[in-house]
Amino acid sequence: MIRVLIADNNVELCTILNRFFEKLEDIEVVGTAYDGEQALRLIQEQTPDVVILDITMPVLDGLAVLERLPSLNLSRRPKIIILTAFGREDLILKLTQLGADYYVVKPFDMDVLVTRIRQFAEDAAPLIKEGAGGEFTAPAVASGKRDLLTMVTEIIHLMGIPAHFKGYNYIRDAVMMVLEEDSTLGGNLTKSLYPRIAQKYGTTTGGVEAAIRNAILTAWEHGNRPYISSIVGKSAISTKGKFPSNSLLIAKIADQLRVKLRAG
């Protein structure tokens, strides 16, 4: 059973989340907090596996909760999924630095949220105690694959693709496939990756291609275009400002991560 704590000052949203989780056999809501101080108290008392944490809360906001979390001296740090209405790059970086594991932009897809809860709960890792001061810090890398998945997720976030878009998941899975199997790309995304992703999500190859294209277009027009350009390279962008193709973006994200992994 996955123990979940909900921390959000939106009473209606908390009610909706509680009712939705009640229908699931593998998730148990162990508490609901409506401000940051209450969230910290319940985290310490209930030791949840996953905390769904809103950024804008009274008394203490979500950032303050993340900052104070190490002072609780927990034997196991919960996975933190941030709920926010903002997708600013500076905020995302700050959340990452404070130890947030994932963030979801409101409004979001309930099924996607449940999938993330299950994924992160499976990867729960105990904290490591360091130094004489007794301060607990999260391990640098819980597992190679999880760390890589987190890196892919962060890049997609920085691009500005909304988390509730189907293409969000498809791009992430495609990049992971390319990284795990160098031969997968093979110059023909349609014949190699799309069918596998379509089978995983119960959709069609054309649906996968269209969803990825829509996600990239949305990020290009309303997200972080300079960041996307930095990934694919200015020379790969049309002089008319045409957004990058599915295969180009997926390949470039994978290349960027390979460089980071070698450097690390």
CATH code of residue 241: 1.10.10.10
Q: Which of 83, 108, 140 is the C-terminal boundary of a domain?
A: 140
Whole-number Å distance between alpha carbons of 253 and 231: 7
Which residue, of 140, 159, 190, is where some domain finishes?
140
For residues 102 and 81, give the distance between their C-alpha atoms in angstroms, rounded to a whole number.
5
pLDDT of residue 226: 86
Same domain, 7 and 118: yes
The answer to whether 170 and 197 have CB atoms below 8 angstroms apart is: yes
Same domain, 161 and 249: yes
Residues 99 and 172 in one domain: no
**Each residue of 97-129: pLDDT tens digit?**
788 888 787 777 788 889 889 888 875 443 322
DSSP notation for 26-56: TEEEEEEESSHHHHHHHHHHH--SEEEEESS
Strands 27-33 and 50-54, by their bridges, are: unpaired
117 & 233 share domain? no
Q: Are residues 88 and 153 in the same domain?
A: no
* 58 and 185 housed in the same domain: no
Q: Quick one: 136 and 149 in the same domain?
A: no
User: Do the beta carbons of residue 56 and residue 7 sit within 8 Å?
Assistant: no
Compute φ and ψ for 74, nearest 5 degrees: -75, 145
Q: What is the pLDDT of residue 104?
A: 80
Indicate whether 153 and 72 sit together in one domain: no
Q: Domain range spanning residue 167?
A: 145-263
Q: What is the CATH number of the domain that holds 52?
A: 3.40.50.2300
Q: How many domains does the chain have?
A: 2
- Rg value, the chain, Cα: 19
* Tens of pLDDT, residues 150-187: 788 888 888 888 877 889 889 988 998 888 765 445 45
Residues 39 and 151 in one domain: no
**pLDDT the model gives residue 238:** 54
For residue 50, what pLDDT is reported?
95
pTM: 0.50
66 & 173 share domain? no
Q: Could you tell me which of 109, 39, 112 has the C-alpha nearest to residue 80? A: 39
Per-residue pLDDT of the chain (264 residues; tens, 9 = 90+): 999 999 998 898 899 999 999 999 999 999 999 999 999 999 999 999 999 999 888 888 888 999 999 899 898 889 999 887 766 666 777 777 788 888 787 777 788 889 889 888 875 443 322 333 333 233 333 334 446 777 888 888 888 888 778 898 899 889 988 887 654 454 566 677 899 899 888 899 999 999 999 999 999 988 888 889 888 886 556 545 578 889 889 989 988 888 877 765
Residue 81 and residue 154 in one domain: no
Question: Among residues 99, 122, 140, which one ends one of the domains?
Answer: 140
Lookup result for tokens 């599915």: 246
Same domain, 77 and 51: yes
